[in-house]
Structure 1
Amino acid sequence: MENAANYTQRLLKGGARAHKSMGQVFLMSDDVIERIVSATTLQPDVPLVEIGPGLGVLTRVLAPKVPKMWAVELDNQKIEILNRELKGLPIEIVHQDALKLNLKDLWGDQLGYLVGNLPYYITSPLIMHFLEQADRLSGMTIMIQKEVADRIAAPPGSKTYGILSIAVQISAKVTKVTDVLPSAFRPSPKVTSSVLRLDLRPYPGFNVNKNDFFRVVKAAFSQRRKTLSNSLTGGLGLKKEDVIERMQGVGISEGRRAETLSIEE
């Protein structure tokens, strides 16, 4: 198989272009591709979808390893390239905005797997869109901006721990696979990327209405510099003495800040 760099350079010389408005960059590293493939669940009975295949540099490696996969692409030019370059492989090209993709339309009631180099400008909305379809997914291997990946994987007590960390960790076990330098892409982005593996599962011991839970989370992080009792008082519109009483009732001191609390707390 043609290596990733030669494949991409050939298509760029043939007129392929990265559209900045779509946040497009093209992966050219066989080493990174191998790491993504190794971190992706590839089984005969697990459907596979790729988000944002671009020129198909990863798609052409994944497709021969599964009975059927889908590649979701919005750019008309890239769809023409994919149809030409991937002809003969067991893959269906889906011309659609990934933010509107319903996984049930692809594989019904099965649990599938998602892989993709997600556009930086819609990374968080895309992740949340697919986490909302957790009943159709066993997991995801995604490449995103390192700064966002660090926020997702952040533990309690760190400066980057926040709403996004909790929103993802409550639905998935997060594992960082590797960091990816700008030199691995053409054109080179201005930031480092990271590959994450998200294994979806119910959060252990979590038994509460998620809407109520996230009302509290958002209120707690609404003013990060304030103590938790002050943030919750303002964010939930409650009396401070009531908030303090409830916090003490579960063993949380009033001087704690939101970023120090675990999901259980």
Structure 2
Amino acid sequence: MNKVFKYTSIALLGVTLAGCSTVPLTGRKQLSLVSDSQIEQQAAASYKEFLGSSKTKVITGTSNAALVKKVGNNIAAAVNRYLSSQGLANQYNFNWEFNLIQSDEVNAWCMPGGKVAVYSGILPITLNETGLATVMGHEIAHAIAKHSAEQMSNQMLLQTGGQIVGAVTADQSMAVRSGVNLLYGVGGQIGMLKYSRSNESEADRLGLIFMAMAGYNPGEAVKFWERMSNGKASGTPEFLSTHPSDARRISDIQKLIPEAQKYYKK
């Protein structure tokens, strides 16, 4: 059993060292095994297909639609200025798009390459421009931190590890092989959830900084997340959730605000 994990660890270490990148501002090292250009092309195609779907209603010509574009462009411009000042602009060839989607769903997202969708169902919770900046800053942070590519890379590494485990235990008994594969599979999937939670927390941190760079007071972000939680407790244990608990997220954001305030200019 020890040999299995020894060989697997050595092999996975080699793969990990071969593809690493650094997240702006946080300085965190992340696994990067996929091409940025490839994933951004795929995202652009998916975004275009999404907007053109008969099931998708893009809202145009309204004050809310204009506000989504205004806030998105403000944050994108601020982020681009920061990246340029750090000599990182060549790593982010984003073609930004911001659209408001008619849907009761409380949601918003940003694909790799800067393809953003805000669902109208979240607007009663954002309430105002700063609340919207909180949401869009968070979602844009996921794209700048390249979390989608990181998650794909982690899944690739997990699959590679599973293949190695299968090869190393090929001459073991069925009981040993089943036990190892079960342990690796369960441990690996919980690990993926941990990565998702850490990505969410990192997006919270970066999102506060990005909204501050764009001229929005990050101190107002807590109000949005309090409205978002609405006093509802999740029935899923936090260690099995892809998001931090509402209480932890709000507590962590309160601690992060002083850092973000350094970037805030009205």
TM-score in terms of structure 2 length: 0.24
Structure (1/2) with the larger helix percentage:
2
Structure (1/2) with the larger strand percentage:
1
Whose RCO is larger (CA < 8 A, sep 6+)? 2
